[in-house]
Structures are given as structure tokens and as C-alpha cells.
Chain A
Amino acid sequence: MNIFRLLGDLSHLLAIIILLLKIWRTRSCAGVSGKSQILFALVFTTRYLDLFTNFISMYNSAMKLIYLVCSYATVFLMYFKFKATYDSNHDTFRMEFLVVPVGGLAFLVNHDFTPLEILWTFSIYLEAVAILPQLFMISKTGEAETITSHYLFALGSYRALYIVNWVFRFYTEGFFDLIAIVAGCVQTILYCDFFYLYITKVLKGKQLTLPA
């Protein structure tokens, strides 16, 4: 565990909590992609099956449980409790366009052809692209609430911090996991356009709107 990894985890946690609180406090999930949230729940479910097979640390197990519970809570709030506020007309990205190719890739490119390893690989690849329905939704409506942009910024920063962690781990421990690194870079690149808008608009007190 190094500082970049810890900051990455905390940033991830912050993102998840920002989103949950936004939905809970405003009693609304307008502007949030339910498709992305379902994909994230799927990501955590397929990645953290090792909760049952492998104990690493209290920190590790606790964080996994928190991520899992929060992501399912978000999906529950969106599709049940506050379903009336869910903006499904603008959330039209087809999940199968991500899940099917990512599933195929996980079968073909993995470290080990075992069920748990393939599911872990699937979750790494899926996480890289799971935000696309949300970005697609913002591009359709042309804007995002400020609180939603804070959520996206924290979520994007998490993987960027992990990349620094991987560089650090490579030089200090000689550790690297090519699958995680490549997927993590793809994931971070997808956020670059958003990061630019966040820094030039949201941090200057304006709402995030896309140029016409």
C-alpha cells in the first residue's frame, strides 16, 4: 500500500458516496445513468468474488464490502425508490454493446483460464468502459449538474491515481499487472475530455455544459 493507492481508493469511495448522497438528499437521480450504475454493480460483483476465497486484510475486505453495498444501494434507489425521477429517455446506451465484447475479450486475454480469473479480467475490462453510458447521457443532454461532475471527477481521479501507484509499484517492487495497467489507462483516457471541461468550467463556478 502506498499513498497513491490509498488516495485512489479514497477518491473511489468519495465518488460513490457523493452519488449516493446526491440521490438521497435531492430524492432524485435525474442526470445519472442507471446503465453505468448497473455496470459498476456488475464490475464489483465479478471482481470481489475472492471475498469468499481469499482473505487479504481487514482493509481490503471492508472496502470491497462497502463498494458492493453502495453500488447495489445506488441501483436500488435509481430503479426502485426514486424510479420516477430516473431519466431513462436520455439513458439509451446499449449495455450489451459493452458487456458482450468485454466478455469475449476476457475469455481470450487473461492471466489464467480459470472461472475466477476470467471473471476478474472481465471486471477490469468492463470497469474501463462502464462510464460510457453516463458520458453518452451527458453528451445527449449537453449538461451535467455540478454535483454529478464532482462525482465523475472523483471517479476518474481514482484510476488515474492507480496508474501512478502502478508506476510506483513497478519501480519499488518490480510488480506490474499488464491487464490492469492497459485497462486502467484506457479508463483514464475516457475521462480526459471530461477532466478538461471540469477544470475549465466547474472549478470556475460554472455548470458543466458542452460546447454547441
Chain B
Amino acid sequence: YDSFKEKDEL
């Protein structure tokens, strides 16, 4: 799970 790829939300 590459979560930080998707953590563009604040």
C-alpha cells in the first residue's frame, strides 16, 4: 500500500 502517493489531501 503506497499511501503517501495519495496523501495530497490536507
Contact = CB atoms under 8 A, between A and B. Distances in A.
Q: What interface size band does chain A fall in?
A: 20 to 34
Interface residues of B, number: 8
Consensus secondary structure, chain B interface: loop
Nearest to A67: B10
Contacts of A170: none
A180 B3 contact: no
Contact of B3 (A1, A56, A117): A117
Contact of B7 (A1, A5, A56): A56
Contact of A53 (B3, B4, B6, B8): B4
B3 A54 contact: no
Contact of A60 (B1, B3, B6, B10): B10
Contact of A9 (B6, B7, B10): B10
A191 to B, nearest CB: 18
Nearest to A1: B8
A26 B3 CA distance: 43
Contacts of B9: 5, 162, 165, 180
What 8 pairs between A and B have smallest CB-CB spacing? A111-B3, A56-B8, A111-B1, A112-B1, A54-B4, A63-B10, A9-B10, A112-B3
Interface of B: 1, 3-4, 6-10
Given A50-B4, A54-B4, 14 more contacts: A1-B8, A9-B10, A54-B7, A57-B8, A64-B10, A111-B1, A111-B3, A112-B1, A120-B3, A120-B7, A162-B9, A175-B6, A177-B6, A180-B9
